[in-house]
Every structure is written in C-alpha cells, then in structure tokens.
Amino acid sequence: MSEPGVTPRSEDYSRWYTDVVQKTELADYSPVKGCMVIRPYGYTLWENIRDALDRRFKETGHVNAYFPLLIPMSFLQKEAEHVEGFAPELAVVTHGGGKELEEPLVVRPTSETIIGHMYSQWVRSYRDLPLLINQWANVVRWEMRTRLFLRTTEFLWQEGHTAHATEQEAIEETLRMLDVYADFAVNEAALPVIQGKKSDREKFAGAVASYTIEAMMGNGWALQSGTSHFMGQNFARAFDIKFLDQNNEFQHAWTTSWGLSTRMVGAIIMGHGDDQGLMLPPRLAPIQVVIVPIWRKDAERGPVLALADQVHRTLKAAGIRVKLDAREEVNAGFKFNDWEMRGVPLRLEIGPRDVEKNAVVLARRDLPGKEGKTFGVPAPGVAAAVREMLDTVQAGMLQRATKFRDANTRTVKNYDEFREVLEAQGGFLRVHWAGSSEDEDLIKQETKATIRCFPFDPPEGEGPCFYTGKQTDCIAIFARAY
C-alpha cells in the first residue's frame, strides 16, 4: 500500500517528481548505482507506450529484430566522431569465463555499429533496399548524475536503423519517423511537442543532422522526448554497406537511426502531474477506470458489490482497462486519494443510492471536485459513457498542456531580456539566432539554457540575432532542459 501525499511542486519540484515515481510504484532505486527497477505499474505504462509506437512502426513498413548486447570495441572505433561522443559513457567487459578477452566488448550504448556491420553482410543489391529494422532493447550509458526514468545508467528504448539507396529517401525516412514520434506524443501521451532540428553542438555523435521532439514540463523546462538522425553515408563507409545500383555500379547506402526511450515516462509524469500526483492520459494509463464501491451498513455491502462486479465485467468485456477496488481495510476517502495519486483517469463510484437507481457516478482525475463529477450514469450504458468520458479527458489533457506551453513560450529580442525572462519566468524562449557553437557554449555556461531546436515553423522573416546582433532568418528555441 502506498503512502498518501507527495511533496507540493511549488515547494520542491525535484522532490515532487521523485515522490511521484516512488509513491505511485512506477519505479524504485536499484542496488546498482544509477540503475532503476521498473515496477509493474511503471512497466505496464511502458508496455502501452511500446505497443502504441510499435503499431505505428509496422504501419510504416518497419519490422522488429534483435541484435547483441555486447559489441566489439573495434566496431565503435571505426567511426571517429561516434566513439569520441560515447567514450565517457561506455561500460566495457574485459573478462569472460574467468579469462581476459582478446578484445574488450562494450555493453550496448546504442547499436549503429553492430547493425551497420550486419547490414554490410545483408545488403548486396539495390533490390535489398530499403532495409527498415527496429529493435526494442536495453542500453547502458555510464551516467554520473541520475534521475529515475529521465537519466539512468541502464534504460529501455527502441532504436530504428534503416538503409536506403538514395540520400533523398534517407532524409524522408528521418523526417517521417520524427512525425511518427510527434503523432504518438500528441495523440497518445497528450503532450504537445515542437519538432525541429538540433544544433551541431547538440546533434548525435556521428550524424549529419539530428531532429527532435521537445516537450515542456510542468516547471517550464524542456525534455527531449524522441530523436531521429540522418547519418548520411558515415556509417555506411565505416562498415562498408555497399550495393550494386541499377547501373551495376557500387554505391554506399544512406542510413538513419531514431529512438525513443523510457524518458517518455518521465515526460508524461512532468508534463501532466500536479500536487496530487500522477495524471495519466487515458490511452496510455495502465488502469483507465477504477471502481470504488461505497457502503456503511452490512446490509448495503452485498447489493453494492454485486453492481460493482457487474459494471466491472461490462467494462472489461468492452476492452476498457478497469480495476475493482474492493479493499475493506481502508475507507473510500483513502481509495480516492490513492487512485488520484496514481493518475487513474476515471473513478467510478457506486453507493446504495446508485444501486437503487441502477446507476453510477463518474469522477474525472483531470477536473477536481464537483466540476469533474457526473451523477446518475445508467449502468446499462456505462461502457459507452466511460468511453466517451475517456476521450473527453484525453482531449482535455492535451488542451491543458498546450495552453500551458503556449503561455510559457516567449519571444525575446536581446541577451539582457533573455537572462531576465529566463530567471523570472523560465519556459521556452524564441529568438533570432546567428551565433556559433562557441556562443551556444557561453550561453549555456552563463544561463544553463541550450538550443532545444530550430523549429519547423513558417518563416518569420529576418531580424537581429539576440546574442550577436547579426541579421538572420533563423529561429531557435532556448530552454533549460533535463
């Protein structure tokens, strides 16, 4: 049984986040430093994320495969920028079976190298392309500062890796998968995201270009929630992925990679949660509806539980993820608070008066008090009413998150204003940008804000760069980020 109550967000946002993760039993700390144990409630949420993404991947022609956890060190050294980018985070196996290995093996930080090696074995002709493969896996990156779901030494993710005959096809694939991530974030996670290109300083090690979906958290900070990378021919040249084209000439393939991880769980927590705890979007929630039977007298117990059981079976048969909370060692008020903290989108209450009317009460997690309650919902039509209400909650959560993001996105004209707004209000800061990577580094050192992306918005016309004063038509979004 979880302890009621979490630290208020306004008091300590970081503590609030950790409280929510632990008290709602999403995850717990592992005896291995920097790692986490994903508990059943958290893992079910991840499974729902996984299934929603996997369906989209298959609809766009991708298939799943699995590649080894251990990667020869020499593979990472074949692409210079890649190994340099990942070197500080590598976990390396030097002994196995009681003997020192002839070549050290790296515990998978990402799989471009080993998949590139395999693609070089499989690709012979243009007829073998495109190769569209995804894998669901765990990866290890040795992190110094960790936070449950957001940044851990080991985490779960999917990584797509594709090979194409032309540059244009590979670029189209990179952007297509970014759209898939954005569609998932908006329509499943109810998180409005900004799509855009990463700066050279922030792009993936070894990529030609990296693209991102950026979400705003409840404290105004950004969270990179999914990335898609155009690799050009960098990995194809390093691993000799060549094919005979239609003119019977050898060409190097063009490759992409794209990934979304258990960080998305953190995005959902911080994008929607409040002082009561979690607030989960219905399409991803492990439990969409909890039924709480309420009685005071022994004579009321049987009829109330009978209707509760009937409604439970009706909702389950309709494919709704439902739980009947018939615990008798705690009262109804405790149950209300417990399930609110766990973020269950709908609570269904049944008391003696409801039994008399053959009806139920529906209470929305996203609207507190009487405003979120619907009384007298007829039991025979409960499945349709619940489905409609879940859709309403889903839409309302997206609307609320979008309104919050838009209210906390501001355009600033110069660096003084930038620092002032960032300290006083935070959020996303839109600026004209003509600075260098060195300028970006200085801004980060002074303010802890980074370029989250160059958004795919309609052009705004030229203006002076907020930092250098140079004329530019490039727009950047800066924010502090997790």
As a CATH number, domain 289-392 is: 3.40.50.800
Cα–Cα distances (Å) from 198 to 138, 147, 179, 324, 374, in that order, read 24, 23, 15, 46, 45
CATH of 13-272, one of 1.20.5.440, 3.90.79.10, 3.30.70.1380, 3.30.930.10: 3.30.930.10
The strand ranges marked E within 266-367 are 289-293, 322-324, 346-350, 359-364
pLDDT in the model for residue 3: 54
Mean pLDDT of 9-23: 97
Contacts of 89 (CB under 8 A, 6+ apart): 109, 141, 142, 143
Token pair 């950790």 is found at 18
At residue 56, the pLDDT reads: 98
pTM passes above 0.75? yes
Domain ranges of the chain: 13-272, 289-392, 409-479
* Furthest C-alpha separation in the chain: 85
Lowest mean pLDDT among 43-57, 126-140, 453-467: 453-467
Q: In this model, does residue 2 exceed pLDDT 80? A: no
Band of pLDDT at residue 82, cut at 50, 70 and 90: confident
How far is the C-alpha of 223 from the C-alpha of 228, rounded, in Å? 15
CATH classification for the domain delimited by 409-479, as one of 3.30.110.30, 3.40.50.300, 3.20.20.140, 3.40.50.2300: 3.30.110.30
pLDDT in tens, 131-183: 999 999 999 999 888 999 999 999 999 999 999 999 999 999 999 999 999 99
